[in-house]
Structures are given as structure tokens and as C-alpha cells.
Chains A and B, each alone.
Chain A
């Protein structure tokens, strides 16, 4: 079955450009939370040699010289644009796996009479026209190859007009192409694995494709063996149309400014619990354990350092924000020490199980506020996150993220719509 991987080009930057055409053809970066480092770069910025993850303060000179425009991440906008893009793409196949905010796989089982390349060009055109986002499409027999084909489309190594279909290439054409691509471009082969493979003389995609899967399994892992098989067109990874329920849910963030006191820390932790618990209920799970942690900034080496976490098992698995908040704040009071400049706090919900088949507790003291939670999720879905929340999350939020360069939430707030004269 042919598989396509469709992925938005410089997705966050492209979302910003849809509503702010003055950003077109100019160097643009989108910064991570707290305006920390580059998480999306326009082609113009890539051409200046700015790498993914470069801290903003390191780019400032370059930015001044070349007029780089930096924006804070506007996740409300990106999420809405992603939903639009995914639902347009869903029209092109009944099998869709949404892999991340800006990429999805489409399976083409039973499309043998279709000209898939024309199909791909059409979806590319439609996403661009309807949503405004430029995408590239890679088509091949396996997910790993489709990813690689997408890379080739994006870098114009093969295919044309942002579409690359490996199924059209002959065996020798593929070999020649794969021999020009570094092994690190393969899905799942990170920088460390690339170095290990290079030590064994495997530097290109073609070399990895020709490696003996059994030997690779012995030397590395079954995961890399599967990658080799997939590169040879043997599907080992199936399309997962429904994302598997997460085994743990994390919610943490660095603070906008350092936090010293327990009170703002409590507000932050309560907010993180609220976010995590909403996700927990969204996937229909309950948590059996909760971890809470705080730490100072490890990069400030001359400041006193402290880092501490506490994992608390729950007698009754729960998805109740109020209950989980109480437990997390109990844990926070135990890990908190005064006199430190805290930079980050977080909570992790663990031991997740299906809410539907819960085991009754021997003590049975705790009863979930199911209906309160249902109302809370409903209200927050309609009027925005945090409309209805536990008072523990605080009101002033002195610890909240810095997002000084954020564009308006053009599609999710009535008072921030794009303006036309």
C-alpha cells in the first residue's frame, strides 16, 4: 500500500505569514516558550545559517544585521491552522494518521487506479489555497520511505513542485539518489546513532539500506533493523489512525521570571495539574501516580542550585483536577525549600489506566467529581482554557510565560481578528 507523508513547510512561520503578508520573503523565526530559542525558521533564516534551537540572545546581532523578525509562539493560531490543514487532507484518503501538529500520513489502500502524483499535487494546491499553508508530499511503500521522499521533495532532490513519489523511481534511480543522502536524514536515526553507524562505515541512506538487517539487529536494536527493512520497501510500521493513549502526561514550563516564594509556585503547579488533568480526561484515563518537581536554572552555575521531585502514589486512581491539585500541592510543600531562584516546575501524571475499568479501592474514600469535571471541560472548551478553574491556580500569574512578540490570535478570539481597510 502506498503511503504519503504530508508536512507543512516551516509550519509556524507559514501560519504567521497567512495573516501578515508583510512577513513574505523576509527572514522570520518563531521562538519557543519564554522567547527562548528558534523553533521555526523561514527559508531566509535557514540560509543565514541559523540552526533549529538557537537561543534568541545568540541571534540578536545577526537579527539586527539582516532584519530577522522574531515572533513568540502563538499556539492557539497554530493549533487552529493545523486542524484546518488536517481536515482538508483527510478528504484525500479514508486512512489518516496525524503524526504531529504539522504532518500526517495518508494510506492509499485500493487507490491502484489513481495517479497518486496528480492526487498529491491536488492536495498540495488545496491546502495552499484553502488554508494558506505550503506543504510538501512524499509518497512511497513504507512510512520511513515516505518520510524520506518528503525530505527529497522539500529539498528538491527528487520529484517536482513539492511532490516526490518514490514508487516512480527505478531500483537504480533510487540507489543513486539514496547514495547522495546522509544517513542522519532517515526517520528515527538521530545524531548519536548516525555517528555509531558512521563508525561502521554506514554514512549514506543507501549504505544503511544495503546493510544486513540481522547484523544491524545484533549490533544496534530491533528498531534500527525495522528501519533497514522499511528502507527496502518492507512495511514494518502500520498507520495508527487513532493515537495510542499516552502512558504518562507531563505539564511543565520554565517561568517568565525566576520565582522565589511558595505561593506563586503553588499557582504554577496547580495550573499545570489543570492542563495535564484535562488531557487525561480527554483520553479517558485516570492517573495512579503523580510526580511534582521544581528546579533552579542549571545554566546559572554561580547561583545556588536545587532540584527536587516527589512521586506520590494515589490510593484511588483519579482524573479529578481538584483532587490531583490537592495531592500535587501537598507534594510541592514537601519539595520546596526557600532561598532559591526557581526557574521551572512541573507535574507528571503516571500509571495511567482506562477510566472505564477502574478497580474499586479497598478504602474507597475518594469519589471523583465526574460531573464537575465534565462541566469544567465543557465551559473551558467554549469560553477558553482557564475560564473555569480551581482557585489554586491564582489570578495574577506572576510566573506566567513571557510571550512579548506574539501575533494576535487571528482565528480564535473575536477581538483579535485580522483587519481589512
Chain B
């Protein structure tokens, strides 16, 4: 049986799981093992201690239905450790608190900003060279799309 896993672009995918050629079984991550070869030798002493492997989804996502991923473009928030190209995990189920980093909608555009509440309104703060803050008066509507929970930054 042929066991290559190829993407629609014709390239072997990086995440193709291990292949067991002798059994003709493809292990597909996230799917139950389709047919596990059962060895007849000594049973593993660790069988009773098997725990579920750690999952990043579980770690990063609190409310699945309300969580969306957003890509950062530009360096307006480098001061907060958010860089160009980073992946943001955005949770719409949370109410933005004072000092929350949020996705705000300004003139129809998604912006990453920090919410700072003041007596006269809300200041949407940036933290990057050449990026100013935006003041939203108490009489204006502030549109917060979601609260940024994590910024995932690729190293190198």
C-alpha cells in the first residue's frame, strides 16, 4: 500500500504523521489510529500512566466559539511585544477591561490598541514609532471587536 500524504499543491506536507510501512497504516494526527499493530511481546509498563498529550488549543483557547485568529501587520504595538506578522488569539466573549489590548474598529479598519479608560473617554494607545494614540470621547461610540489574549511570535 502506498502511504504518502500529499497536499493539494502537490508537495509532501510537513505535518504528515509517521508512516508504518510494514503495516500499511498512516497515522493521521487528530484522528484515531486507524489500525494499530498489536505486538505480542511484553506489555508496556507505562500503560497505566498514559495521559493526554498537552494541547496548545486547550492552553490558548478558553471559549472556542468566540475565539478568532488575527494577523498583525506593522509595528504599532512593538512596545507591547506584538510584532509585524504575529498571530493574535482574539476572544470575543470577554469584556475589555482597563488596559486590555483589543482589536478595535476605527473607520472600518481593524486596529490592535490598548484600551485606557479616563474620565473624559477612552484612549486607544499604540506603542510603536510613529503611531499616535486615538481618543474616543464619552459621546462617541467605541467599537471593540474582541480582546487579544495571546500574541504568538515566531522566533527567527
Please report A residues at the B interface, Cβ cutoff 8 Å.
20-22, 24, 84-85, 87-88, 129-132, 371, 374-375, 378-379, 381-384, 386-388, 410-411, 417-421
Which chain A positions have C-beta within 8 A of B109?
21, 421
Known pairs A375-B26, A378-B28; A420 contacts B112 (CB<8 A): yes
Q: A130 touching B110 by the CB < 8 A rule?
A: no
Q: A420 touching B71 by the CB < 8 A rule?
A: yes
Q: A386 touching B65 by the CB < 8 A rule?
A: no
Which chain B positions have C-beta within 8 A of A383?
7-8, 13
Q: B31 touching A417 by the CB < 8 A rule?
A: no
Which chain A positions have C-beta within 8 A of B76?
421
Q: What 8 pairs between A and B have smallest CB-CB spacing?
A: A22-B108, A130-B66, A420-B110, A378-B31, A84-B65, A417-B71, A21-B105, A21-B108
Q: B21-38 interface mask toward A, CB cutoff 8 Å, 1 = contact, 0 = none?
A: 000001011110011000
Distance A419 CA – B93 CA, assembled complex (angstroms): 20
Distance A88 CA – B67 CA, assembled complex (angstroms): 12
Q: B60-92 interface mask toward A, CB cutoff 8 Å, 1 = contact, 0 = none?
A: 000111101111111010000000000110001
Give the contacting residue for B63; candidates A130, A387, A419, A421; CB below 8 A: A130
Distance A32 CA – B63 CA, assembled complex (angstroms): 32
Known pairs A129-B92, A130-B92, A378-B28; A417 contacts B108 (CB<8 A): no
Known pairs A21-B143, A131-B92, A420-B88; A374 contacts B69 (CB<8 A): no
Report how many A-B pairs have Cβ atoms within 8 Å: 87
Interface size, B (range)? 35 or more
Q: B8 touching A387 by the CB < 8 A rule?
A: yes
Distance A129 CA – B143 CA, assembled complex (angstroms): 12
- CB pairs A–B below 8 angstroms (17 shown): A24-B108, A129-B66, A375-B26, A375-B34, A382-B28, A383-B7, A383-B8, A383-B13, A384-B8, A387-B6, A410-B68, A418-B70, A419-B70, A420-B72, A420-B111, A421-B73, A421-B112
Closest A residue to B3 by beta carbon equals A375
Which chain A positions have C-beta within 8 A of B34?
371, 374-375, 378
Q: B111 touching A421 by the CB < 8 A rule?
A: yes
A145 to chain B, nearest CB (A): 29
Give the contacting residue for A379; candidates B28, B71, B103, B110; CB below 8 A: B28
Q: A419 touching B71 by the CB < 8 A rule?
A: yes
Q: B108 touching A420 by the CB < 8 A rule?
A: no
Distance A417 CA – B112 CA, assembled complex (angstroms): 15
Q: B101-123 interface mask toward A, CB cutoff 8 Å, 1 = contact, 0 = none?
A: 00101001111100000000000
Q: B5 touching A388 by the CB < 8 A rule?
A: yes
Most chain A Cβ neighbours within 10 Å, of B65, B72, B112: B65
Which chain B positions have C-beta within 8 A of A384?
8
Which chain B positions have C-beta within 8 A of A374?
34
A188 to chain B, nearest CB (A): 31
Closest B residue to A395 by beta carbon equals B10
Q: Kindly list 7 other residue pairs between chains A and B, CB separation below 8 angstroms, not including A21-B145, A378-B34, A382-B29.
A: A20-B108, A22-B108, A130-B92, A378-B28, A379-B28, A418-B71, A421-B111
Which chain A positions have C-beta within 8 A of B92?
129-132
Q: A375 touching B110 by the CB < 8 A rule?
A: no
Q: B7 touching A387 by the CB < 8 A rule?
A: yes
Which chain B positions have C-beta within 8 A of A378?
28, 31, 34
Which chain B positions have C-beta within 8 A of A24?
108
Closest B residue to A128 by beta carbon equals B92
Give the contacting residue for A130; candidates B35, B65, B74, B112; CB below 8 A: B65
Q: B28 touching A375 by the CB < 8 A rule?
A: yes
Which chain A positions have C-beta within 8 A of B112?
420-421
A11 to chain B, nearest CB (A): 16
Give the contacting residue for A419; candidates B6, B26, B105, B110; CB below 8 A: B110
Q: B128-156 interface mask toward A, CB cutoff 8 Å, 1 = contact, 0 = none?
A: 00000000000000010100000000000
B100 to chain A, nearest CB (A): 14
Which chain A positions have C-beta within 8 A of B145?
21
Distance A411 CA – B70 CA, assembled complex (angstroms): 9
Q: B110 touching A421 by the CB < 8 A rule?
A: yes
Distance A22 CA – B108 CA, assembled complex (angstroms): 5
A126 to chain B, nearest CB (A): 8
Which chain A positions have C-beta within 8 A of B93?
129-130
Distance A384 CA – B5 CA, assembled complex (angstroms): 13
Closest B residue to A126 by beta carbon equals B93
Q: A417 touching B70 by the CB < 8 A rule?
A: yes
Which chain B positions have C-beta within 8 A of A379?
5, 28
A17 to chain B, nearest CB (A): 11
Most chain A Cβ neighbours within 10 Å, of B66, B68, B72: B68
